[in-house]
Amino acid sequence: MALLQIAEPGQSTTPHQHRLAVGIDLGTTNSLVATVRSGEVTTLADANGKHLLPSVVHYGEDGVQVGEEALKYSVSDPYNTIVSVKRYMGRGHADVQGDDAHHSYHFADTDSTVPRFKTRRGEVSAIEVSAEILKVLKQRAEESLGGELVGAVITVPAYFDDAQRQATKDAARLAGLEVLRLLNEPTAAAVAYGLDTGNEGVIAVYDLGGGTFDISILRLNKGVFEVLATGGNSSLGGDDFDYAISQWIIEQAGESYRETPESKRLIMQQAKAAKEQLAEAQSVDITIDSGDFHWQGTLDRDTMEELIRPLVQKTLMSCRRALRDAGVDNEDISEVVMVGGSTRTLLVREMVAGFFDCELLTGIDPDKVVATGAALQADVLAGNKPDDEMLLLDVIPLSLGIETMGGLVEKIIHRNTAIPVSRAQDFTTYKDGQTAMAIHVLQGERELVSDCRSLARFELRGIPPQVAGAARIRVTFQVDADGLLIVSAREENSGVEASVDVKPSYGLSDSEVETMLRDSIEHAEEDMHLRMLREQQVEADRVIEALDSALAVDGDELLSEKEKTAIAAAREELLQARDGNDTNVIEEKIKQLEAVCEDYVARRMNSNIKSAMQGHSIEEYASDSEAGDS
Amino acid sequence: MAITLTEPAAERVRTFLENRGKGVGLRLGVKTMGCSGMSYVLEFVDDVNPEDEVFEDKGVKVIVDKKSLVYIDGTELDYTREGLNEGFKFNNPKEKAACGCGESFTV
């Protein structure tokens, strides 16, 4: 009989429910949903037959509108109409302060780490805005497919960090969508072209969307994709072409220009229209009519190309860097997959073909290619195909490592390493008798712990006390296909081990993350003192333990009663200080105890040498040393 | 009669409830749908209704509404693995026939 899973109250599935899964390209400018039906990928259209859903959300008097409906308000009601929300995903409040040149929103003044847009329907975060878009796509898919979705593959730019990926997952959760997997956009594009069934070789995926640029270098080997390197720019895309053209219009208009949010938006719209027409036409007439600002002019293709050339040049610089990361040359690239609406611009195709010096793949609509690949992957993940059909290797976007002495980060898995992956590195103890080791897992490219992102902390305890450097502690980092990191530490001599599953901020609400961040800042100094205290306590334990074992061996033999009493008193004082919380007192008492024991230690040394030499003549040692010298 | 759980099933339910962070127990029941008459319901329970019977086995509260109990009394809930798939299984002594897929049954 079929195996059942526990459902949420009232959510039991009906028998024989088809495993309906979709791929979603959640784009900066446009979003799209696709699915596999009867073995074929189709993008799903709305009631009006439109496939692309503009990623625009309008918070209106009588409800929330998404897509074309919302786009209508982008000029007349700019503060309540959120466009290009993907730019704000997973970004902090401070990150968005400099962006006002492009966008004219009112941000709420909160101490929240997440920027919140002020709209007439209250404050909303980027996650909530994205969720509105996903809700519409989900509903469209369920109506088209006649059933509830089991889940979706949602694509993200390859260089999205964990916060941004998490924000995307949160948006999906808010929209009631199960995320089967987040898939890198360029990887999805390569899947769409069926390059997995093609020849072996190295390909590049050039993805210039509305708001983001992504370059990925993939290697195809026996039908398997391996992402060799990724690079790009999260703030460069077709929007910037529009912006450059709109700046040209404003420059041409000169003193007659009146800046209002409406006129800015209108000029952007006209600039975008002009750019699209110039893919066909040689020149285009532009008319702006906004309140008390009127302007009319002509833009020809050459002029536009000069305006956007520096931007395209920027993308090629990212391409060069990605090639270097991948360790391949331009001539190793056999094909370039073109993705994103902005690759329709002729200058882009010309310059990219020139740079890579090879054929460009433009056969699939560049707006739909990512969603197509995501749908294919979703179909596999939903269990509608044999598991071995397609195996995708992804890469780690940021290096993973642990903290070592001096607040430095030792990277264990470097960025752009293909997952799943497992790497181990050996560490050792720093102090004699150290019985515990704090393992602090970090993510980032910087050298200092303070500049990286803290993912988790755990302790390996029960290390047998040994001299510093004798313990062999193997720390293993393991990342599975879903990007879940497991860090384990094992002391090889004794076999004690500890491990932690790292889900970077998974399952935490925004406020919880905020609290964690605030706590880490507020308690920074406290933590530091605690750490020093802990280290000093470990040291005190080591000293006492060494003393006790020595006394047991030859205390009675070498010490007078008076000396023994003095040592016992000093030992007792240290024991008391150790259980207190004053680091300096513990340190002082350790020194005192060591001073009291100085004679005893010297006597032990002599007695040890005596017993070692007993039964041997001095001559033996002399001849040994002579032999050694010769 | 009562509803019981095997040790593996009880352990999974306890873990699932713990991970979920809320819920008083597990609801077993039947729905009249599916190709062979009825299908099983397996859900978390946040609120116990007045018409519910509550059993306890191996530290898990099992909640069954009185209407469903007629069809599944005596059931032992098991947790098993079949290939890569794993999940719960109703061992229902009253079950007479199941459809090919096993997703629905008759008594």
Rounded average pLDDT per 10-residue block, chain A, 630 residues: 65 57 91 78 86 93 91 86 85 58 64 74 89 94 80 86 82 90 86 76 89 85 70 84 92 83 85 90 88 86 94 94 90 91 92 91 91 89 58 64 77 75 83 85 76 81 84 86 79 84 49 46 61 76 83 84 89 89 88 87 82 66 45
State the CATH architecture for A528-613: Up-down Bundle (1.20)
CA proximity to A88, closest of A127, A56, A121: A127
**Cα–Cα nearest to A78, from A269, A298, A287, A363:** A269
Q: Do B26 and A6 touch (CB under 8 A)?
A: yes
Roughly how many angstroms between the first and final C-alpha of chain A, as a whole number? 84
Decide: helix, strand or coil at residue A610: helix
Place of tokens 């404050």: A123
User: What six digits make up the tokens of A617?
Assistant: 């003549």
Which listed residue (A77, A128, A162, A207) is catalytic? A207
Alpha-carbon torsion (A302, A306, A308, A313), positive or negative = positive
Per-residue pLDDT at A316: 95
Other Cβ atoms within 10 Å of A162 Cβ, number: 20
Identical fold, A17-193+368-386 and A396-522: no
Is the distance from CB of A340 to CB of A241 less than 8 angstroms? Answer: no
Phi, psi of A16 (to 5 degrees): 65, 25
For position A624, what pLDDT does the model report?
47
Chain A residues with beta carbon closer than 8 angstroms to that of B86: 3
- Neighbouring CB atoms inside 10 A of A274's CB total 23
- A25 catalytic per annotation: yes
- The nearest CA of chain A is from the CA of B47 a distance in Å of 9
Instruction: Tell me the two tokens of residue A303.
Output: 């002029």
Neighbours of B6 (CB within 10 A): 18
Please indicate if any CB of chain A lies within 8 Å of the CB of B4. Answer: no
Our answer to whether residue A111 is catalytic in this structure is no
In the stretch 17-76 of chain B, residues with CB closer than 8 A to chain A read 26-27, 31, 33-35, 39-47
Contact between A16 and B34 using a beta-carbon 8 Å cutoff: yes
Q: Give the distance from residue B49's alpha carbon to the nearest chain A alpha carbon, in angstroms.
A: 12
- Identify whether the C-beta of residue A126 lies closer than 8 Å to the C-beta of residue A166: no
Phi, psi dihedral angles at A407 (to 5 degrees): 70, 25
Question: What is the DSSP secondary structure assignment for residue A256, as one 8-state letter?
Answer: G
Nearest CA-CA distance, residue A16 and chain B, Å = 7
The dihedral over CA atoms of A205, A207, A212, A216, expressed in degrees to the nearest 10, equals 0
Task: Choose from B103, B104, B105, B106 for mutation: most chain A CBs within 10 A.
Answer: B103
Nearest CA in chain A to B80: A3
Partner-chain contact B80 A1, CB within 8 Å:
no
Give the model's confidence band at B37: pLDDT under 50 very low, under 70 low, under 90 confident, else very high: low
- Residues of chain B contacting A9 with CB distance shorter than 8 Å: 27, 43-47
Query: In Å, what is the CA distance from A417 to each residue of A131, A233, A382, A610?
Result: 31, 20, 26, 59
Contacts with A11 from chain B: Cβ below 8 Å: 43
Q: Are A5 and B88 inside 8 Å of each other by CB?
A: yes
Question: Does the beta carbon of B87 lie under 8 angstroms from any beta carbon of chain A?
Answer: yes
In three-state secondary structure terms, A531 is: helix
Which H, E and C letters describe A408-464, residue by residue?
EEEEEECCCCEECEEEEEEECCCCCCCCEEEEEEEECCCCEHHHCEEEEEEEEECCC
Interface contact flag, A3 B87, Cβ < 8 Å: yes
Residues of B in contact with A6 (CB under 8 A): 13, 16, 26, 42-44, 88
Chain A's closest residue to B39, CA to CA, is: A15
Q: Are B27 and B45 in contact (CB under 8 A)?
A: yes
pLDDT digits (tens, 9 = 90+) for B13-30: 888 888 777 788 999 988
Mutation for testing the A interface, residue in B41, B62, B77, B92 having most A CBs under 10 Å: B41
Per domain, the residue ranges of chain A are: 17-193+368-386, 238-308, 396-522, 528-613
CATH architecture of B4-106: Sandwich (2.60)
Is there a contact between A108 and A116 (Cβ–Cβ < 8 Å)? yes
Q: Which CATH number fits domain A238-308: 2.60.40.1180, 2.40.128.20, 3.90.640.10, 2.30.30.100?
A: 3.90.640.10
Which pLDDT score, from 0 to 100, does residue A625 have?
Answer: 44
* Catalytic one of A46, A77, A86, A170: A86
User: Chain A window 6-25: which residues touch B at a Cβ cutoff of 8 Å?
Assistant: 6-12, 14-16
Asked if A619 reaches chain B (Cβ–Cβ under 8 Å), the answer is no
Q: What is the pTM of this model?
A: 0.53
Within 8 A by CB and 6+ apart from B54, the residues are B25, B48, B61, B62, B63
User: Which residues in chain B are contacts of A387 at CB distance < 8 A?
Assistant: 84
Domain A396-522 is classified in which CATH homologous superfamily? Substrate Binding Domain Of DNAk; Chain A, domain 1 (2.60.34.10)
Residue B35 pLDDT exceeds 60: no
Q: What is the reported pLDDT for A387?
A: 46
Query: Catalytic: A624?
Result: no
Q: Hey, which CATH number is domain A17-193+368-386, 1.10.10.60, 1.20.910.10, 3.30.420.40, 1.10.150.110?
A: 3.30.420.40
Q: How far is A17 from chain B (nearest CA, A)?
A: 10
Residue A369 has what pLDDT?
94
Which of chain B's residues have a Cβ under 8 Å away from the Cβ of A14? 31, 33-34, 39
